[in-house]
Amino acid sequence: MKQLVAIVAYYMFGYLIFWTLLHETSVFPKVWVQENFNIAIYVWIFFFIIPLILIALGNDYIKNRISDFKSLNQSTRWPLYLLLFGVWDLMIGFAYLLFIYFEITQVTMIIANALFITGTYLTFLSFSVAKKLQISKKD
């Protein structure tokens, strides 16, 4: 768990530097980002989100949770799928509201990242909880 927190902290620190440079200096083409926001989001996903996912998948915490998920019975997986659909529907809905009703700022992006990191953590935590429930039903 400490490793996961360190990864997220490292990621957020780098992300804050990037958005500070984008908003406070002319290092990055701010006008281009605002005019081509759809492309900028793809760049953000490619350079920030995908590396974070790859690093997290190498983490022991995530590996253990995926192992918990793989060992679940089929009857235990369906309630878990419904729970995860609800979690991600909520996270994506909040992020959508942030982007639609608030100006795209550093704070908005930090909150959006926090939502997705929270959703990911809740996803992997739910694998563990579902495995524990399955084991307790057998006993």
Q: Which residue has the tokens 């804050």?
A: 16
In this prediction, residue 39 carries a pLDDT of 76
The per-residue pLDDT for range 81-111, each reduced to its tens digit, is 988 998 999 888 888 888 888 877 777 877 8
In this prediction, residue 99 carries a pLDDT of 81
Q: Please, how many CA atoms are within 13 Å of residue 131, restricted to the half-sphere of its CB?
A: 15
In this prediction, residue 25 carries a pLDDT of 65
Confidence of residue 7 (pLDDT cuts 50, 70, 90): low
Q: Is the pLDDT of residue 115 over 70?
A: yes
The per-residue pLDDT for range 18-30, each reduced to its tens digit, is 666 666 666 666 6
Helices marked H in the chain: 2-24, 30-35, 37-44, 50-57, 60-70, 74-101, 106-138
Long-range contacts of 65-73 (CB under 8 A, 24+ apart): 65/124, 65/125, 65/127, 65/128, 66/124, 66/127, 68/127, 68/128, 68/130, 68/131, 69/127, 69/130, 69/131, 71/131, 72/127, 72/130, 72/131, 72/134, 73/134
Q: How far apart are CA 27 and CA 7, in angstroms?
A: 26
In this prediction, residue 76 carries a pLDDT of 83
The per-residue pLDDT for range 39-88, each reduced to its tens digit, is 777 777 777 777 777 776 677 777 888 888 999 888 888 888 988 998 99
Give the CA angle between residues 48, 52, 54 to the nearest 5°: 125
The tokens for 103 are: 């100006």
Q: Provide mean pLDDT across the span 119-139.
A: 87
Say which residue, 58 or 126, is predicted with more confidence: 126
Query: Could you state, in order of their start, the residue ranges of all structural domains in the chain?
Result: 2-138
Q: Is the pLDDT of residue 122 over 70?
A: yes
